[in-house]
């Protein structure tokens, strides 16, 4: 069963070839069997999953099906889940049980999806390797000595190992696309604001966006269809109607023009990955796409800009974790200052502290103009570069990451090396654009991801390009040894 895609399982459920309870039990059993070694889940919601599955089976019997009714999925532990522990990968929230559902969680539940549990992640979504989690590293199912990528590393590993049918994730600088690439699956980050951020624990509010981790683009479209759309609880959610992604994706292929940012193929890119991506471009050409070189003039500044803007916003967002209303609280303190200092000192890990210190510094009087304001100006230049490129082409295609999965522990002592993992993904966040990573080959036995970036709100075009690519290739069907 687990070798099937969400779309295939959805057909099986609707045709009553399998029940949701059977499917859910099967995935729960696979989690029991494999997750001790992978550590991709923080919380497993066995009982409520089986209840939701039974309810889904009733709906199916009554003929009230949606494509997600009865499908077992996992949520990144950054999404608040009513009455279920929501940790964001941090000791700070180890004791936090959310009193409400995030909009993403509520919408998927309404569509009938079954929640298997909450997936592991870098602490407060800060990281590219899932090593900053308070709950320990997640292992990459392709090679358990390697990282699965981050920060949605638990979601990526779970889908890659077929212990969840699909999962949600969030992407602030690459955290859906990068782990999808390193784990050999499809990771979709929509346009900023396409999916509500209500109930999604904030990291950098002007960059954060929820999306999907799935086997195929087709599965991603099914999930996003239910997640996307306006939300009165999030003033930055976009009011634009959500198109029918499935129909758009399957519509006849028209000539699209693809731009290749040549500076993405520089010395920093692993050779075998570059070959795989060029071969992927040849597939698009075969499909009838025209390929052009484009230049994103300021893209090399995206990592430095991000590491000013994101920590600045994080330092403000994380101020709420003070031990007063919820979360970790220091004990045996003498006064209020000590209470705050010890609560935050004990509750946050070192990467989170590094971001708070950086953010506080770049926002402080005297440095604000030199760093934060300057970064905002360069952010605009990066956005303008994308706009210029898109006046000429429909989609940009390039690598998702500089290298395939790296070793556990390999980059933990060198934050700059870690930050450079997102060199190809951050631009889309700074400009608010949709992007997807799809499997396109292997390098040294590890999966390689190809990234497609689209115009503002043009998710449909990205799904379509990825869907047609996956009709022509079988990279997305490869399963790591031991998880078939």
**Listed residue (477, 291, 296) closest to 397, CA to CA:** 291
User: What is the helix (H) or strand (E) element at residue 27, kind and residue range?
Assistant: helix 20-38
If DSSP states are collapsed to H, E and C, what string results for 413-424? Answer: CCHHHHHHHHCC
Asked if 458 interacts with ligand GLN (CB under 6 A), we say: no
Question: Where do runs of H (alpha helix) occur along 39-190?
Answer: 46-61, 103-110, 153-160, 177-183
Question: Of 57, 77, 123, 171, which lies in the binding site for ligand GLN, with binding defined by CB under 6 A?
Answer: 171
What angle (nearest 5°) sits at the alpha carbon of residue 380, between those of residues 180 and 312? 70
- Residues 121-140 close enough to bind ligand GLN by CB under 6 A: 125-128
**Shortest CB 310 distance to ligand GLN, Å:** 6
Site string for ligand GLN, 416-435 (x = CB under 6 A): ------x-------------
Residue 370: exposure state from Cβ atoms within 10 A (0-12, 13-18, ≥19): exposed
Cβ distance to ligand GLN smaller for residue 273 or 401: 401
| CB distance 44 to 89 below 8 Å | no
**Shortest CB 359 distance to ligand GLN, Å:** 12
Marked catalytic residue, from 175, 183, 196, 437: 175
Cβ distance to ligand GLN smaller for residue 343 or 401: 401
Marked catalytic residue, from 151, 152, 155, 196: 151
- Residues 41-100 close enough to bind ligand GLN by CB under 6 A: none
**Shortest CB 424 distance to ligand GLN, Å:** 12
| CB distance 168 to 108 below 8 Å | yes
| Per-residue tokens: 100 | 């409400």
Cβ distance to ligand GLN smaller for residue 40 or 343: 40
| CB distance 236 to 193 below 8 Å | yes
Asked if 148 interacts with ligand GLN (CB under 6 A), we say: no
Asked if 402 interacts with ligand GLN (CB under 6 A), we say: no
Cβ distance to ligand GLN smaller for residue 258 or 428: 428
Cβ distance to ligand GLN smaller for residue 141 or 174: 174
User: What is the helix (H) or strand (E) element at residue 456, kind and residue range?
Assistant: none
Question: Of 175, 225, 315, 456, which lies in the binding site for ligand GLN, with binding defined by CB under 6 A?
Answer: 175
Marked catalytic residue, from 10, 20, 76, 273: 76
Site string for ligand GLN, 197-216 (x = CB under 6 A): ------x-------------
- DSSP character for 161? T
What is the Cα–Cα distance from 154 to 435, expressed in whole angstroms?
20
Question: Is 4 considered catalytic here?
Answer: no
Cβ distance to ligand GLN smaller for residue 171 or 219: 171
Asked if 172 interacts with ligand GLN (CB under 6 A), we say: yes
Asked if 151 interacts with ligand GLN (CB under 6 A), we say: yes
Question: Is 155 considered catalytic here?
Answer: no
If DSSP states are collapsed to H, E and C, what string results for 325-367? Answer: CCCCCCCCCCCHHHHHHHHHHHHCCHHHHHHHHHHHHHHCCCC
b/e map 259-298, b = 16+ CB within 10 Å: bbbeebbeeebbebbbebbeebbebbeeeebeeeebebeb
Binding region for ligand GLN (CB under 6 A): 125-128, 151, 171-175, 203, 310, 422
Catalytic positions, please? 76, 151, 175
């Amino acid at each position: 069963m687990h070798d099937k895609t969400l779309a295939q399982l959805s057909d099986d459920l609707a045709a009553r070839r399998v029940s949701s309870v059977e499917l859910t039990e099967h995935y729960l059993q696979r989690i029991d069997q494999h997750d001790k070694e992978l550590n991709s889940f923080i919380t497993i919601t066995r009982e409520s999953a089986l209840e939701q599955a039974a309810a889904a089976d009733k709906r199916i019997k009554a003929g009230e099906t949606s494509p997600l009714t009865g499908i077992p999925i996992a949520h990144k532990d950054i999404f608040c889940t009513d009455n279920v522990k929501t940790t964001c990968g941090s000791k700070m929230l180890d004791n936090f049980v959310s009193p409400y559902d995030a909009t993403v969680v509520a919408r998927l539940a309404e569509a009938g999806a079954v929640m298997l549990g909450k997936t592991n992640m870098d602490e407060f979504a800060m990281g590219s390797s899932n090593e900053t989690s308070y709950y320990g590293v997640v292992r990459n199912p392709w090679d358990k000595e390697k990282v699965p990528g981050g920060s949605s590393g638990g979601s990526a590993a779970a889908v890659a190992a077929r212990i969840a049918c699909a999962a949600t994730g969030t992407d602030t600088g690459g955290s859906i696309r990068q782990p999808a690439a390193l784990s050999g699956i499809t990771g979709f980050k929509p346009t900023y604001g396409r999916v509500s951020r209500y109930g999604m624990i904030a990291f950098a509010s002007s960059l954060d966006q929820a999306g999907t981790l799935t086997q195929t683009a087709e599965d991603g479209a099914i999930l996003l269809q239910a997640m996307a759309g306006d939300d009165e609880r999030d003033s930055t959610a976009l009011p634009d109607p959500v198109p029918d992604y499935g129909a758009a994706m399957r519509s006849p292929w028209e000539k699209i023009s693809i731009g290749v940012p040549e500076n993405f193929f520089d010395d920093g890119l692993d050779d075998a990955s570059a070959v795989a991506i060029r071969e992927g471009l040849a597939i698009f050409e075969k499909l009838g796409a025209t390929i052009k070189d484009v230049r994103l003039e300021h893209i090399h500044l995206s990592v430095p800009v991000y590491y000013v803007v994101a920590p600045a916003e994080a330092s403000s967002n994380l101020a709420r974790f003070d031990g007063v209303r919820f979360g970790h609280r220091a004990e045996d303190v003498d006064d209020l200052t000590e209470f705050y200092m010890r609560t935050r000192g004990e509750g946050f890990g070192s990467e989170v502290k590094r971001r708070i210190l950086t953010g506080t510094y770049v926002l402080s009087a005297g440095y604000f103009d030199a760093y934060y304001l300057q970064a905002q100006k360069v952010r605009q230049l990066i956005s303008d570069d994308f706009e210029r490129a898109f006046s000429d082409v429909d989609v940009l295609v390039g690598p998702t990451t500089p290298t395939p999965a790296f070793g556990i522990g390999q980059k933990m002592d060198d934050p700059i090396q870690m930050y450079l993992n997102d060199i190809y993904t951050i631009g889309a966040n700074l400009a608010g654009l949709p992007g997807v990573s799809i499997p396109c080959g292997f390098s040294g036995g590890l999966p390689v991801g190809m990234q497609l970036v689209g115009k503002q709100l043009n998710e449909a075009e990205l799904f379509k390009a990825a869907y047609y690519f996956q009709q022509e290739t079988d990279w997305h069907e490869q399963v790591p040894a031991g998880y078939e």
